[in-house]
Structure 1
Amino acid sequence: MAYRGKGATGETAAVNRAAVGRYPMEDRRDFADADRGLIAPLPDKLYGRGGEVIFDPAAFDYLEGQQEAPDTVNPSLWRQSQVIRRGGLYRVVDGIYQVRNNDIANLTVVEGPTGLVVIDAMASVEAATQGMAMIREHVSDKPVAAVVYTHTHIDHYGGVKGVVTAEEVASGRVPIVAPGTVKSFDKHALGENVIAGNAMSRRAAYAFGSLLDLDPCGHVTCGIGIQTVPGVTVSYLSPTDGITRTGEKRELGGLEFEFLYAPDTEAPEEMHIWIPELAALTCAENANHTLHNIQTLRGARTRDARNFARYLDETLQRWGDAAQVHYGPHTWPVWGNDAVVDLLESQRDTYKFIHDQALRLANKGATPLEAAEQVELPEALGRRWHNRGYHGTLHHDVRAVFHKELGLWDGDPVSLHPHPPVETARRYVELIGPEKVLAEGRKAFEAGDYRWAVQLLHDLVFADPEHREARELQADAYEQLGYQAEGPQWRGIYLTAAKELREGVQPARFATASQDTVLAMPVDILFDFAAVHVVGDRAAAVDLAVDFRFTDLDETWAMRVRHGVLNARPGAWGAAGLTVSGSKAVLAGVLLGQAAAAKAAELDGDGQLLHRYWELLDEFDPNFPMVTP
């Protein structure tokens, strides 16, 4: 039975009505900008490999028809979702076109005199294929001359095989230009999404609301695009041309592209792009129609807020006087020099303010949570729609600055070595009594104090996960917090928590560790991925050495498991008792414990060593619980 949330309480309705006063609801310019340049609407549906419907734009029709938000949605988030709901093929300026909102990210195509340059390839092959078909039908049938990845996140490269083939790239006909060295880009793009991919995918299912129904009690877009839909194909092709310093230029498709290298910003490897002939600029995800994450809730490396500001300012110095349009890999463009400069200055100052105020309060002795409760953007920044928290939020970005600059400890000795959650919960509930905890939780809920209600009930649920009444009441409280949240990721987390408490763990619908990404990993990262599967206790007393000969790469790597750790290095291990030979695809399967892959490999030596190795490996359940122990 499909999940349908309960309605908003009177307290939540009042909170959302009062929130309207914090926002410039009279400013509707974004709606006109999002509609500007429409060439063709999206086709009715997006189909998967088996012919199944994986995305239907009509599923978001509930966002139309009423400008005023329902009581179950924060009015700012409702407005942003109504803007994002617009999708299709758009002309940005002559020579630049975007397909928007058949995927969480945009497909940007620059038409040069000699070919098409595709900037970012969406998250899925299906969406990118649909987007390119629209380009072919309405814009140009010129060949793809180059692909550009603006940064290392999956929603900007996952659809690349819907744009070009591996053969076109391997032959050198179509370069893939990306920030950083090729090795560095691969490392960050694949390592981030695969090595911690099981945890990241589970957390992302919460943050992006992919387990929720599409309705005013559930998912109302991701704030920067529609959600990445289940059942899609995620592909990967390594870059062939790395941008490692600001000022580098490339001629692509008969046009000059100039790059500003901006590492350690929204992604470990990122760059801004200037096309002088078109007076067109993109700052990738360092400038958006939203406040971005300094620390993602799905889980990724903490970013440097100061670098956001630093590179946006450098961009203004280089091209601010000349830029006439700013287009991004998410949401809609900004036109006119004044508007472009205003966007970049406003976003620069927002990230700088967050960075500086967080550290000011840290230097006064505040903890991350205390600082996050205090910091408010000045009105000149906070009332701008593009600085609202549709991806990151001010609250968790302030805390992220602490994490980036000061580390995990908040400075309070009590948090240095606390008891684990279940043990803490058990002790609190024994001390207070389950009936009293439940009664106080209900009292907090009825008073509309939902933050306190979920904190109280968390201990009771962790001490007794089968306490049905506590689970239901905590779910109700999480739900109301979700209805009040401006940030769609906070909304997704709260509402998915409510769903899991009521219905149990929901099966995963999307995984970052696709076959394509695993096989594309550099060999050293492939061994790193295998290493995080090793159960340290099982391997503590083991000492085994195996050589892996990658026949298609003409490389041999030595793997040794000793002291509970898997290490690998190029070259053969002199004392190895076994050599396993095969293609990278076969050896990847062997490393990850797939017995079927071993049948396709050539073994020279003691085959039992493989079985001893496989016995050391852990399995990752993609559906681990989040709101219960």
Structure 2
Amino acid sequence: MRKRSGTLMLFVILLVAYVFANSAVTSLSNLNNSQKEATDKTAEVNRSYYSLLDFDEETEYEFATRGLIAAPETLELKDSNGRVVWSQKAYEFVDEFETIPDTVNPSLWRDTVLNHSYGLFEVCEGIYQVRGYDLTNLTLIETESGGWIIFDPLMSQECTEAAMKLVEENLGKRPVMAVVISHPHVDHFGGIRGVVLEEQVADRSLSIEEQISSGKVPIIVPEAFTEHAVSENIYAGTAMARRATYQYGVFLEKGVKDSLAMGIGLSQSTGTLTFILPTHEIKKTGERIVIDGVEMIFQMTPGTEAPAEMNTYFPQFKALWMAENCTGTLHNLYTLRGAQVRDGNAWAKYILEAIALFGSEAEVTFQSHNWPHWGNDVIIRYMEDTAAVYKFIHDQTLMYINLGYTSDEISNMIHLPEYFEKVWYTRQYYGTVAHNSKAVYQKYMGWYDANPVHLNPLDQSERARKFVEYLGDTDRVLEMAYNDFLAGEYQWVAEITNILVFADPQNTAARYLCADALEQLGYQSESGTWRNAYLTAALELRVGNLKDESKLAKGSADILLNTTVEMILDYMGILIDSNAAQDIDITFNLILTDSNERYFVHLFHGVLLYYPDQTREFVDATLTCPKIGLLTLISRNETQQKLIIKIDGDSDIPMKLTQAMVTLDKTFNIVEP
């Protein structure tokens, strides 16, 4: 009897395996490039958030909507060519659903609803914000005579102009007395020409007191602001911009299967980026400035959310501006677009320092993203909780490092304590505990995990080809991957199928299955940036690299024109293809007519070296020009070069330089070779 039962059982197992395997083959043949619904596994993962979080707790919703003065019924902003550069209209779908779709993490849906609250808000008497008109908030402080001190004038000029129009319609047209920029990320200064023109700006050679009394507009920033604002947008700017299309979901539609909010706002605007040189740098904590009756006390917080950053306290309003150090979400110690890693330990300490300096008096905290928090007890808890999360990630990662764990191991092991898991304003909408722990690892240990196998691994495409060679039957691999997809193992399916894509980008079955797996990971993600990255990769696997620059923000010459000569020379060195230029050996003197600077420059064996404050007698040529002449070399504009650059000696020097420089691809591949 047992023998017969065993035989029958074996038969059943073999039959099920046969049916399952054949159904997998059939399903593989049906793989396509369309978006999919959430699987049962994804729906189950998303439903688990209802038991984790208290969705009936509405304090954050009350704060996000408190103080609304006015808002247009529909908000969609366009540039002079009619191109949409910002849209709240695109997110109106969140108002149409009675229940949250399975294709969305319910916690992220809630954050999207909160960020869909837009308009002109009163923070407290005398302080106002325009929120939801860009990724960043436009903040206005009313001065004694009725002017404005403006904090962080958004990312795009068009958005800033629209925000100021809303202010003027409801609070009247008023003069701008000063502009304060909290830190050098472009979403905080790119719209500056929407509030002030160059000719209205104070003379930066004057003291801050003289600037204020001159009647012109001072632009106040933290120390080293300009250096970081320019270098971040120049040295690795092309790569960051391309990677940002994944982080911010630039090519995605807005919807239940596409892009949602991302913790610090809905998305980046794609209007015109502008820049004006600051006129005064804050250099130390405790520095005080009074502008038309408004006293500001500054706290320096370098190395937190940005290399140069500062908080500001307004004693007369009992209001504490926390810049981007507290934002109502877990922020990034490492941002997915690429940037220098941030110091979680310092970040926590500066928040605690702010509590020590201003916490006994403050009745409201407000910042450059999301909404304010009111009440002394509330804001102390808000700041302490935020500091504690960054401190936790920092300390726990180091604990695991010292126990011998690697970056990938730690990112899978580390989880917030239960208390912080349930706090809405420390949820992982922007940064995540997983990738922030990797940032801590990188800061202290670098890329190497001490395993010599990983010292010099093969490049991704070569490794993929060897994988496929060893795996042999890729069809069988795809069948197994599809079975794992049905079992909900989306991360593994994405990994193995992406190897197949890198080995053979034309393997459509691998592309489509990888896309389907990434899509489910996106649907499950509480982090808006993770969702965007997963779904953008899925889109490009299905339809190919879009190579579309029309949806990117429009750059302006402002930043390049305010770059130092040494930064431009450094950037030229970055552009040199050393393999192509290894036989070039040229020397030239560089004389800048507008800045009275002199350099000796030597390009040899593919390396560009320069010596400040030097010219030499025996060189191939001397190039004399204003600083803009260097930009004509980078842009390879031969007509402008001839007009702007005077050459004594070898007239082919500009040609030899430009021939040695690569042309950057702003739309390089990411999820395929």
TM-score (norm 2): 0.90
For 1:68, the equivalent position in structure 2 comes to: 99
Give the drift of 1:39: 1.1
For 1:137, the equivalent position in structure 2 comes to: 169
Correspondence for 1:205 among 231, 235, 245 = 245
Q: Partner letter of residue 44 of structure 2? A: A
Give the drift of 1:428: 1.0
For 1:577, the equivalent position in structure 2 comes to: 620
CA contact (8 A) 2:269 2:553 kept: no
For 1:153, the equivalent position in structure 2 comes to: 185
Note the 1:279-294 alignment, pairs <5 A.
279-294=318-333
TM-score (norm 1): 0.96
Flag the structure with larger Rg: 2
Does residue 251 of structure 2 align to residue 222 of structure 1? no
Cα distance in structure 1, aligned partners of 2:60 and 2:48? 23
Does residue 461 of structure 2 align to residue 422 of structure 1? yes
For 1:368, the equivalent position in structure 2 comes to: 407
Give the drift of 1:590: 2.0
Note the 1:216-295 alignment, pairs <5 A.
216-230=256-270, 232-295=271-334
CA contact (8 A) 2:633 2:657 kept: no
Cα distance in structure 2, aligned partners of 1:466 and 1:441? 18
For 2:582, the equivalent position in structure 1 comes to: 540
Give the drift of 1:142: 2.7
For 2:645, the equivalent position in structure 1 comes to: 602
CA contact (8 A) 1:120 1:148 kept: yes
State the SS of the aligned residue for 1:525: helix
CA distance change for structure 1 residues 556 and 136 in 2, over 3 Å: closer, same or farther?
Answer: farther
Does residue 494 of structure 2 align to residue 494 of structure 1? no
CA contact (8 A) 1:393 1:487 kept: yes
Give the drift of 1:528: 1.5
For 2:35, the equivalent position in structure 1 comes to: 5
Q: Could you list the runs of 5+ residues in structure 1 that have no partner in the other structure? A: none
CA contact (8 A) 1:67 1:79 kept: no
Cα distance in structure 1, aligned partners of 2:34 and 2:80? 30
CA contact (8 A) 2:156 2:269 kept: no
Does residue 602 of structure 2 align to residue 560 of structure 1? yes
CA contact (8 A) 2:482 2:513 kept: yes
For 2:138, the equivalent position in structure 1 comes to: 107
Note the 1:263-412 alignment, pairs <5 A.
263-412=302-451
Give the drift of 1:513: 5.7
Q: Partner letter of residue 579 of structure 1? A: T
Give the drift of 1:339: 1.1
Correspondence for 2:89 among 58, 61, 75 = 58
Cα distance in structure 1, aligned partners of 2:563 and 2:525? 37
For 1:619, the equivalent position in structure 2 comes to: 663
More divergent stretch after superposition (595-604 vs 101-110) = 595-604
State the SS of the aligned residue for 1:402: helix
Correspondence for 2:511 among 451, 471, 493 = 471
Alpha-carbon deviations, 1:303-362, whole Å to 9, x = none?
000011110010110111100110110011101111111110000111111100000011
Q: Partner letter of residue 605 of structure 2? A: H
Q: Could you list the runs of 5+ residues in structure 2 that have no partner in the other structure? A: 1-32, 204-210
Alpha-carbon deviations, 1:90-118, whole Å to 9, x = none?
11111111111111001001011143111
CA distance change for structure 1 residues 450 and 627 in 2, over 3 Å: closer, same or farther?
Answer: same
Cα distance in structure 2, aligned partners of 1:89 and 1:594? 45
Give % identity. Answer: 37
Q: Partner letter of residue 263 of structure 2? A: G
Cα distance in structure 2, aligned partners of 1:246 and 1:279? 18
Cα distance in structure 2, aligned partners of 1:170 and 1:614? 38
For 2:563, the equivalent position in structure 1 comes to: 521
Give the drift of 1:557: 3.3
State the SS of the aligned residue for 1:245: coil
CA contact (8 A) 1:126 1:159 kept: yes
State the SS of the aligned residue for 1:403: helix
Give the drift of 1:55: 2.7
Give the drift of 1:586: 3.5
Cα distance in structure 2, aligned partners of 1:104 and 1:343? 22
Q: Partner letter of residue 449 of structure 1? A: E
State the SS of the aligned residue for 1:456: helix
Cα distance in structure 1, aligned partners of 2:399 and 2:273? 42
Cα distance in structure 1, aligned partners of 2:553 and 2:560? 12
CA contact (8 A) 1:87 1:101 kept: yes
State the SS of the aligned residue for 2:598: strand
Does residue 620 of structure 2 align to residue 589 of structure 1? no
Cα distance in structure 1, aligned partners of 2:555 and 2:458? 32
Q: Partner letter of residue 626 of structure 1? A: I
Correspondence for 1:95 among 119, 122, 126 = 126
State the SS of the aligned residue for 1:281: strand
Give the drift of 1:545: 2.1
For 2:14, the equivalent position in structure 1 comes to: none
Give the drift of 1:449: 0.6
CA contact (8 A) 2:272 2:553 kept: no
Alpha-carbon deviations, 1:57-95, whole Å to 9, x = none?
221101113353211110110000000011111111111
Cα distance in structure 1, aligned partners of 2:634 and 2:614? 16
Cα distance in structure 1, aligned partners of 2:339 and 2:99? 35
Q: Partner letter of residue 299 of structure 1? A: G
For 2:16, the equivalent position in structure 1 comes to: none
Aligned CA-pair RMSD: 1.6
